[in-house]
Amino acid sequence: MRSMFLGGCAATALFLSQAVVAEEGMWLPNQTPELAGKLKEAGLEIDPAMLSDLQAAPLNAIVSLGGCSAAFLSPDGLVATNHHCVYGSIQYNSKPGQDYLTDGFLAKTNADEVQAAPGSRIYVIEDLRDVTSMMNKGVTTKLDGLTRFDKLEANRKNLIAACEKQANRRCDVRAYFGGYTYYLQQQLEIKDVRLVYAPASGIGNFGGETDNWQWPRHTGDFGFYRAYVAPDGTSAPYAKDNVPYRAKSWLKIATTPLTEGDFVMVAGFPGVTQRLQTAAEVKHVFDSVYPVEQQLRADYSDTIVKATAGNPATQIKYASILKGSDNYKKKLLGEIAGADAIGLMARKDAADTAFRAWVAEDKSRTAKYGPALTALDRNISEANDARVNALRLSTINRSQLLSAATLLYRWAKEQQKPDAQRDSGYQERDRLPVSERLAQLDRRYDAGVDRVIFDQALTEYRKVPADKRTTAFEAKLAEIGVDRLYADTKLADSATRASWLNKSPAEFEASDDPFIQLAVAAYPTIIADEKNTKARSGRIQAARSVVMAGQLAFAKSQGRTLYPDANGSLRFTYGKVTGKVRDGQIWTPFTTAEGVVAKHTGRGEFDAPDAAIARLKAKDFGNYVDPTLGTLPVNFLSTVDITNGNSGSSTLNAKGEFVGLAFDGTLDGVVADWSFDSSVNRTIHVDGRYMLWTMEKVDGADRLLREMGVN
C-alpha cells in the first residue's frame, strides 16, 4: 500500500542505508554503570546515572498497573498507558446504551472521572534492592526440596512483611537468574484509580485482531488513568472526597520531532521471558506444550464468540476476557512459527553445548557446576512430564463460579493458620485484592455463557488420563449434575459471594451450594499436587541457582554482561527508530495518516470515527505534522527489547522526554521471549503526535493537553 511508505526509490535507498542498531537486553537500573558507555555511544543525551535513580525522573515517573506499564504525564497524577491496558475498565463501565468500548470515554472534569475496574492499582516505584543474603538465611544444601521451598518462602514473606510496615506500600521479592540473586521491589500502592480518557475503539483498537502483532499498523493504542489519594495525601480506597495524587516526577512531552535513526528507550515492568531456560525446557515447550496451549486458547475464544453471539449485553461482559484470549492465541502462533524461522532449537543446543563444554574443560568448574547441571536436567524432565496434563486440567477454572468457589474455600482453610504461615495470596494483605477479584464477576459473568464455557472445558479435562484427574471432583460432579450447578448456586449474587470470605471451613463443608461442594471435593487433590510442585520447585531452585552462577561466570569470561529474564520488575531497554527489510517487503519506520484513511472501511475492525476520517482527509494535522514525512505519523517501529507487561511503557527520546507508548511487537519477533534476534525483533509504538492530535482534533481533550503542558 503506497500510502504507508515514505514514497519511491529515494526513500527506499535512505532506509536501506541506515545501520540497524538492535540492543538486546531488559536491564536492571543497577546495571546502568556497566552500560554507560554503550548508552552514550547509542545516542543517550542525559547522564546515564539518571537511569539508576529511582527517586527522580525519568524512572520515578514510571509506574506499574500490575500487568501493564504506564507513566505520569502531569504533576496531578495523570497516567498514560495503552488503550488495551485500560480496556478492562472501559468494559467494566460499559453496558447497552453506554458503550464506552465502541464510543470511547472522556471525562470533561475531574468530577466526571469514573472508578476503574475493581482491583485496579497504580504502583509507584520507590526502591529495588538486593536481598539475596537475607533470602538465603538458613537455606543449605542439606535441605530437601519442600523444606528448601518453605524456607525461601518464609524468608520472602518476612522481608515483605517488614517492608509493608510502612503504610500503603506493596512489596515483593523476586528471583533473578534462577534464584542466584533476589531483589525486593518496594512500591507505593495507589488504590483509587479512575478512568479519565480512552478514544473510541475505531482509534484505540483500529485494526483489531486482524492487525494485532502486524506491520504496517495504524492503532491509537492509548488511554489515561488518574491516581487519587485521601485529602491528607495517603493512599486510600475510592472515596468521593479523594484528591488527585501529587506525583514526585512526571515526563515532559517532547517538542523535537522523532525521526528515523533516533535513539529511543523504554522503561517499564516486563512480565516473563524464558531466554535463560535450558535447551530441554525449550524443546518440550515448543514440541508438546505450545501446540496444545494454542489450541486451547483458540477453542476458548471460539466458545465465547459463539456463546455471546447476537447478545450485546454478554458481548460487553466478555469483551475483556475475549480480547486477552485472542491476543495470546495469536502470540503463541507467532512464537511457534518464529522458533522455526530463527532456528531456536539449534541456537539453544549450541548455547547449552558451549556452556557445558566450558564447565568440562576445568576440573574445579566440573566439581562446582557439574552436579547441579545433572540435578537440573533430572528435575526439568520430571516437571516437563506434568505440564500438558496440567494445562488441560486447568481449563475447568474458566468457569468463573467454580474458580470463585475454589478461591473462597482455599481462603477459609488458610485463615486457620497464623498469617505468616499462610500461602502467598491468602494472607491478610491479600484480603482486599481477593474481594475485588470476586467483585469483578458482577459485570463479567453470565450464567448461560459460563455454562457453555464449563461444558467445553470439561471436554478438555476428560482428555487427561483418568489416573491424573481428580476422582473426588468427578464423583461430586456426577452426583450434582451440571444443570443443578447453575440452577441451585447462589454464588452469582455479589453479596452472597462476598459473605463467604468470612466463613469457616466447616460452613463450606456443610454448604448445599453445588459449586462450593465441588470446590470442597477438589481441595485435597489440589493441595497434594501443590505440595509436589513446591518440592520440585525447591529442587530446581537449588540446582538452577548454581547453574546460573556458572552461566554468569561463563559470560564474564567472554566479556559479556548478562541481564536476568523478565519477571515483572522495573527494567529499561534502548534502541533506534528503524524499519526492516523482509523478503519482498520494506517496512518503513513510520506509518501515517494516509494509511488510516486507506484502511478505513467504516465496518468492523477498520471503522475509524467519522470526525477522525474527515480531519485526516482534509489534512487537518495542526501542529503535529512531521517535517520529514510531510504528514501526521501514527505508529513507528524501533529495536527496543520488550515483552508482555511492557504494554503501556512510555517511549523516551535521548533527552528522556515522552515521544509515545510501546504497545506491541511484530508476529515474527515474539519468539524473542525465548531468544532475541536483531534481524527480526521490532517493537511497535503509538507516536505521541498521533495521541496529541487525536486528543485535540477528534475528542476535544483540551483540559488534558493543558495539564500535560501541550496547550
The reply to whether 284 belongs to the active site is no
Cell of 191: 488504590
Q: Which residues contact 147 (CB under 8 A, 6 or more apart)?
A: 538
Please name the residue that has the C-alpha cell 491476543: 327
DSSP assignment of 124-156 equals EEEEEEE-HHHHTTT--TTS-HHHHHHHHHHHH
Count of residues in the chain: 711
Please name the residue that has the C-alpha cell 535512505: 14
Cis peptide before 633 (omega within 30 of 0): no
Considering the candidates 99, 172, 192, 221, report the single residue annotated as catalytic: 221
List phi, psi (to 5°) of 635: -125, 160
Q: Which residues contact 583 (CB under 8 A, 6 or more apart)?
A: none
Considering the candidates 89, 647, 649, 675, report the single residue annotated as catalytic: 647
In terms of Cβ atoms closer than 10 Å to its own Cβ (0-12, 13-18, 19+), residue 110 is: middle
Q: Label residue 119 left, alpha or beta by phi (over 0 means left) and psi (-120 to 50 means alpha).
A: left
Could you give the count of Cα atoms lying within 13 Å of 550 in the half-sphere of its Cβ?
24
Distance separating alpha carbons of residues 376 and 545, to the nearest angstrom? 10
Q: Are 595 and 672 in contact (CB under 8 A)?
A: no
Q: How many CB atoms lie within 10 A of CB 97?
A: 6
Q: Are 497 and 437 in contact (CB under 8 A)?
A: no
Considering the candidates 52, 64, 69, 84, report the single residue annotated as catalytic: 84
Among the listed residues 204, 194, 168, the one whose alpha carbon sits nearest the alpha carbon of residue 79? 194
Q: Is the dihedral of CA 385, 391, 396, 402 positive or negative?
A: positive
Distance separating alpha carbons of residues 24 and 125, to the nearest angstrom? 24
Distance separating alpha carbons of residues 573 and 268, to the nearest angstrom? 9
Distance separating alpha carbons of residues 684 and 651, to the nearest angstrom? 10
Distance separating alpha carbons of residues 547 and 379, to the nearest angstrom? 13
The reply to whether 569 belongs to the active site is no
C-alpha distance from residue 200 to each of 190, 633, 687 (Å): 27, 19, 17
Q: How many CB atoms lie within 10 A of CB 130?
A: 14
CA 43 to chain centre: 28
Cell of 393: 486440567
C-alpha distance from residue 22 to each of 567, 658, 677 (Å): 22, 21, 9
The reply to whether 221 belongs to the active site is yes
DSSP assignment of 630-685 equals TB-EEEEEE-----TT-TTPEEE-TTS-EEEEEEEE-GGGGGGGT---TTT--EEE
Q: Residue 87 has what DSSP assignment?
A: H
Q: Which residues contact 47 (CB under 8 A, 6 or more apart)?
A: none
Distance separating alpha carbons of residues 596 and 612, to the nearest angstrom? 9
Q: Which residues pair with 243 in a beta bridge?
A: 229
Q: Which residues contact 154 (CB under 8 A, 6 or more apart)?
A: 420
Distance separating alpha carbons of residues 69 and 593, to the nearest angstrom? 27
Q: Which residues are catalytic?
A: 84, 221, 647
